[in-house]
Amino acid sequence: MTTSPYNNEIADNLKRIKENVYNAAVNSNRSPQDIKIMAVTKTVDPKRVNMAIDAGIELLGENRVQEFLSKRDEYNLSAARVDFIGHLQTNKVKYIIDKVSMIQSVSSLKLAKEINKCANKNNIVMDILLEVNIGNEGSKSGFLKDEITLTETLEALANLSNVNIKGLMCIPPVFDAEKYLYETYKLFVDIREKKLDNINMDILSMGMSNDYELAVKHGSNLVRLGTALFGTRK
Ligand SMILES: *Cc1c(COP(=O)(O)O)cnc(C)c1O
């Protein structure tokens, strides 16, 4: 355990975040311990990432393949695991398939099929979340609501034997975020109620620095935090 001022700052931020998550959970009759806190590491120096791990973070979120590969060796991964959360091109899947515990940003059937293929080659089953473009925004990737509720889409995903579908992930539009957080929760419940083989709706990954308390209010059980934990990105 190091005791530089930075470490105290990150530990203090984490303490405050945990209090906020606790309050948001209790206020909506949820159990605070059901909600995981991910540290989003983009642009953050690996030393500071390790300070977050020292402070108790057990889950890292990586956005960029190249950046992740260049920083990974410096991470203290005995105490934390890594999920991929960024836009992922099919030709990059092979670089991360054996280095992450989950890919949260599966934005198309095509990408899911490529992950399935790479996982098969590596003799693993990869946990994935389906990313939903809940606000139907041109600037964002992800399944559209109409697409993901189709039995056809869900069955095609369920048939991939080297991926485990564990839930949904979303980045809601900034304007009117609460409405979209709630819509994502409804979608999560709708899909869960279909009770399809190999489609489990256990994880609802939503909530970032500016809306994580609202996300907890609307059923999120995994909040992804960068700025709130590490400060403003350069
Ligand atoms: C950057 C990022 C976050 C964290 O954003 P902050 O606002 O800094 O908390 C969460 N999820 C994804 C997918 C991101 O790219």
Nearest-atom number in ligand 1 for the CA of 63 is 15
List ligand 1's pocket residues with C-beta within 6 A.
Answer: 40, 42, 63, 85-86, 171, 208-210, 224-228
Atom of ligand 1 nearest to the CA of 224: 10
Beta strands in 29-114 (DSSP E): 36-40, 59-62, 81-84, 102-106
Return the ligand 1 atom nearest residue 227 CA. 8
Report helix angle 5-27 to 46-54, nearest 10. 60
CA distances from 208 to 47, 153, 171 (A): 22, 28, 8
5 Cβ neighbours under 8 A, 6+ residues apart? none
Report pLDDT for 4: 57
The predicted pLDDT at position 143 comes to 98
Phi, psi of 15 (to 5 degrees): -60, -45
How confident is the model at residue 234, as a pLDDT? 79
The ligand 1 atom at the shortest distance from the C-alpha of residue 228 is: 9
Closest C-alpha to ligand 1, atom 10? 224
User: What tens digit of pLDDT does each residue of 110-121 get?
Assistant: 999 999 999 999
pLDDT for the residue numbered 106: 98
Please name the residue that has the structure tokens 């059923």.
Answer: 219
Give the Å distance between the CA of 40 and the centre of ligand 1: 6
Angle at 79 between CA 75 and CA 84, to 5 degrees: 60
- For the CA atoms of the chain, what is the radius of gyration? 17
Give the count of beta carbons closer than 10 Å to the beta carbon of residue 138: 6
pLDDT reported for residue 159: 96
For residue 183, what pLDDT is reported? 98
Nearest to 62 by CA among 36, 91, 87: 87
Substitution site in 168, 208, 209 for ligand 1 pocket (most atoms within 8 Å of beta carbon) = 208
Taking the chain (234 residues) in runs of 10, the rounded mean pLDDT of each run is 65 98 98 98 97 97 98 97 98 98 98 98 98 96 94 95 98 96 98 94 98 98 98 90
CA of 208 to the centre of ligand 1 (A): 6
> What is the best residue among 10, 14, 40 to mutate for testing ligand 1's pocket, by most ligand atoms within 8 Å of CB?
40
Q: Which two tokens stand for residue 161?
A: 């034997």
Residue with tokens 């606000």: 135
